[in-house]
């Protein structure tokens, strides 16, 4: 399987979720083995997509170099990862990635417009070799060995509009577009005033966020999926785990996971040499799964 970039540059204009400021974003192709790179055009600073460049996970995942930041990257990265893109330059002229409608479907449309092209280099992936878990009280995120990439998430909220939700997503590009990409970010009306008092959620509203009051969903159109809340948590997790820098082969399991726990998980994985192996992907998914199962059977003998 070859590495992938986009065929042509594309751009979009929107606003940032937390700062509420206008931002222009342009996606450009990159050669093989360059990875995902963010470029603040207004600061002339490039920031590579690496776990060590994550500087904040309070309400979003934020990359930084010195005093230059790029915030709320997880939704875009989720779509980029779902499309199998290995090399990409993401240019923005402000601090945040545009939030669009609060999901990843607009980024999918942008990538469809750009098109994909294979490069003359083999695609590499991180194959998980042992269980790694990060906990915060009852909350946890965990990665386990598996021949397929799976995201298994559960949430519980003491709110009549959410309660308990769980979803198991077997990763593929088509399944992502059908099951995950349209799930929007969500928040509670009771928290809005506080968030805005600390400089966050200034660009949020019913047009790009599911908002819940005391009784339920305030958005007139309702939900896009029955389990839209937990599906969005999977969307976020896919974007956060993409910070590993290459496709993930393993099962991600979480109860009430967060950007912070996802970041700590990526750091824990890379800190343990026996936790993963970097492998070149064969030309077909079936061939890769067969190779994995053969290797796993030999380990058990």
Other residues' Cβ atoms within 10 Å of the Cβ of residue 117: 13
CA dihedral 167, 183, 78, 139 (to 10 degrees): -50
Judge whether 81 counts as a catalytic residue: no
List, as one string, the DSSP characters of 2-60.
EEEEESS-EEEEEE-TTT--EEEEEEEE--TT--EEEEETTTTEEEE--GGGEEE-SSS
Q: What is the 8-class DSSP label of residue 274?
A: G
Residue 159 assigned ligand-binding role: no
Three-state secondary structure call for residue 127: strand
Phi, psi of 251 (to 5 degrees): -105, 125
Candidate list 18, 81, 259, 263, residue with the active-site label: 259
Residue 81 assigned ligand-binding role: no
Question: Which tokens in the block code for residue 81?
Answer: 């990862």
Q: How far is CA 16 from CA 108, 231, 282, in A?
A: 18, 22, 39
Question: Which tokens in the block code for residue 63?
Answer: 């990359």
Residue 75 assigned ligand-binding role: yes
Three-state secondary structure call for residue 121: strand
SS3 content of the chain, % helix, strand, coil (to 5): 30, 35, 40
- Contact between 14 and 203 (Cβ < 8 Å): no
- Contact between 92 and 19 (Cβ < 8 Å): no
Residues within the annotated binding site for Zn(2+)? 75, 232, 236
Residues noted as catalytic:
259
Annotated binding-site ranges: 75, 232, 236
């Amino acid at each position: 399987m070859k590495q992938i970039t986009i065929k042509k540059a594309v751009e979009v204009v929107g606003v940032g979720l937390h700062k509420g400021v206008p931002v222009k974003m342009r996606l450009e192709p990159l050669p093989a083995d360059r990875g995902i790179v963010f470029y603040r055009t207004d600061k002339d600073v490039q920031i590579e997509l690496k776990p060590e460049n994550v500087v904040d996970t309070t309400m979003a995942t934020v990359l930084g170099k010195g005093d230059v930041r790029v915030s709320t990257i997880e939704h875009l990265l989720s779509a980029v990862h779902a499309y199998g893109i290995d090399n990409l330059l993401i240019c923005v002229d402000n601090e945040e990635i545009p939030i669009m409608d609060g999901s990843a479907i607009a980024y999918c449309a942008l990538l469809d417009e750009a098109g994909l092209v294979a490069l003359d280099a083999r695609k590499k992936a991180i194959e998980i070799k042992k269980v790694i878990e990060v906990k915060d009280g009852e909350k946890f995120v965990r990665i386990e060995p598996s021949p397929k990439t799976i995201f298994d998430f559960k949430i519980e909220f003491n709110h009549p509009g959410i309660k308990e939700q769980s979803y198991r997503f077997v990763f593929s590009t088509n399944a992502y577009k059908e099951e995950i990409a349209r799930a929007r970010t969500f928040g509670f009306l009771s928290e809005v005033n506080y968030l805005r008092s600390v400089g966050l959620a200034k660009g949020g509203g019913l047009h790009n966020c599911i908002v819940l009051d005391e009784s339920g969903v305030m958005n007139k159109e309702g939900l896009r999926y029955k389990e839209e809340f937990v599906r969005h948590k999977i969307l976020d997790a896919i974007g956060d785990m993409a910070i590993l820098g290459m496709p993930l082969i393993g099962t991600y399991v979480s109860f009430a996971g967060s950007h912070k726990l996802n970041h700590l998980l990526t750091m824990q994985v890379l800190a343990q040499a026996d936790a993963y192996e970097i492998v070149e992907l064969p030309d077909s998914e079936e061939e890769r799964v067969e190779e994995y199962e053969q290797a796993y059977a030999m380990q058990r003998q």
